Amino acid sequence: MVLVTLLWSIAGVVARHLEAAAGFEVNFWRSGFNALALAIGLTWLRGPGLWAGLLNAPRIVWISGLCWAVMFTAFMLAITMTTVAMVLVTMALGPMITALFARFFLRQRLPLRTWLAIALAGLGIAWMFGAEAPAGARLLGSLVACAVPLAAAVNWTLLQKTGQGSEAGPDMLPAVLIGAVLSALCTLPLAWPLQATPHDLGLLALLGVVQLAIPCLLVVRLTRVLPAPEIALLALLEVIFGVAWAWLWAGEQPAVSVLAGGGLVLFALVFNEGLALRQRASGTFS
């Protein structure tokens, strides 16, 4: 899951190096390359039967695909409409929404350590960017970004309900492909005329394959191992990594508040995962 967040986190800094592509076109190319990579990868994993069974996939696979489409589209659009910091701050709502969904829809009893870690991580992210958020940041970009944690919370809850602890449930990997195709098709009309340069296409292919296809397939499998709230909580590492990439590759040196808040987020994650490992080792889960 740490590797997944590391790959996800390159989106903001890579997008800042695009030359001509913007708005809906960025999302179209990224989702298009993502769909192409997933089509090749899943055909290799599942064989030709993947395509025969795709249209007849259970409803939950298509619902998950719709969630992926919303996540792919809303995130990239928000990145082009407001600052990376504002998008990541908004996405920090994810663990709290996911924990509530898991509590009320999956009837999961969440340990106190998870609630404390969510609170600490949320405080850390607010600290990181509270002083950095630019005055007059575009409200629309932040509102679009709100769709990401909402769709993610629904998706993680669905994936866990379907797959955790069971090998007999429906294959949820094709849902990522469905989401990529839906995202590309929905934004193509709005992206026309296409203006991306060869330089842009190279970067967008990197985002589609490395930043989306690979980590999204990994996280679907991880839902069989990790509870949905823990996945959402670990996903906050994307914020830390995103700040680091911007520092190293875009010359955005973080302020003291960013370093202090990031340290609090890391402490929350280590605290939660450390207690989880200790409880598993002792055979207790409360």
Query: What would the pLDDT profile of 6-18 be if each residue is shown by its tens digit?
Result: 998 888 888 888 8
pLDDT of 185 reads: 94
pLDDT at 244 over 50: yes
Residue pointed to by tokens 């039967």: 49
pLDDT of 168 reads: 58
Residue pointed to by tokens 């089509």: 39
pLDDT at 134 over 80: no
pLDDT tens track for 64-100: 999 999 999 998 888 888 777 777 777 777 777 887 7
pTM of the model: 0.79
Cβ density class 147-170: b for 16+ within 10 Å, e for less: bbbbbbbbbbbbbbbbbbeeeeeb
> Which of the residue ranges 15-29, 38-52, 124-138, 169-183 would you say has the lowest mean pLDDT?
124-138
pLDDT at 122 over 50: yes
Cα 283 to the center of its chain, rounded Å: 31
pLDDT at 285 over 50: no
Q: What is the DSSP string of the chain?
A: -HHHHHHHTTHHHHHTT-SS--THHHHHHHHHHHHHHHHHHHHHHH-THHHHHHTT--HHHHHHHHHHHHHHHHHHHHHHHS-HHHHHHHHTTHHHHHHHHHHHHS-----HHHHHHHHHHHHHHHHHHHTTSPTT--HHHHHHHHHHHHHHHHHHHHHHHHHTT-SSS---HHHHHHHHHHHHHHHHHHHPSP---HHHHHHHHHIIIIIIIHHHHHHHHHTTTS-HHHHHHHTTHHHHHHHHHHHHHS--PPPHHHHHHHHHHHHHHHHHHHHHHHHHHHT---
Tokens read off for 140: 């629309």
Q: Name the more confident of 134 and 85.
A: 85
For residues 207 and 251, give the distance between their C-alpha atoms in angstroms, rounded to a whole number.
Answer: 20
Mean pLDDT of all residues belonging to the chain? 81
Can you tell me the mean pLDDT for 26-36?
Answer: 93
Residue pointed to by tokens 């701050």: 89
pLDDT of 126 reads: 75
pLDDT of 258 reads: 66
Amino acid code (one letter) for 9: S
Domain ranges of the chain: 2-282
pLDDT of 156 reads: 83
pLDDT tens track for 254-274: 667 667 777 787 788 778 777
pLDDT of 3 reads: 92
pLDDT at 249 over 70: yes
pLDDT at 107 over 80: no
- Highest mean pLDDT (candidates 84-98, 192-206, 241-255): 192-206
pLDDT at 131 over 70: no
Amino acid code (one letter) for 27: N
Cβ neighbours of residue 202 closer than 8 Å, sequence gap 6 or more: none
> Which of the residue ranges 83-87, 170-174, 224-228 would you say has the lowest mean pLDDT?
83-87
pLDDT at 206 over 80: yes
Percentage of residues in the chain with pLDDT exceeding 90? 24
Q: Name the more confident of 219 and 128.
A: 219
pLDDT at 183 over 90: yes
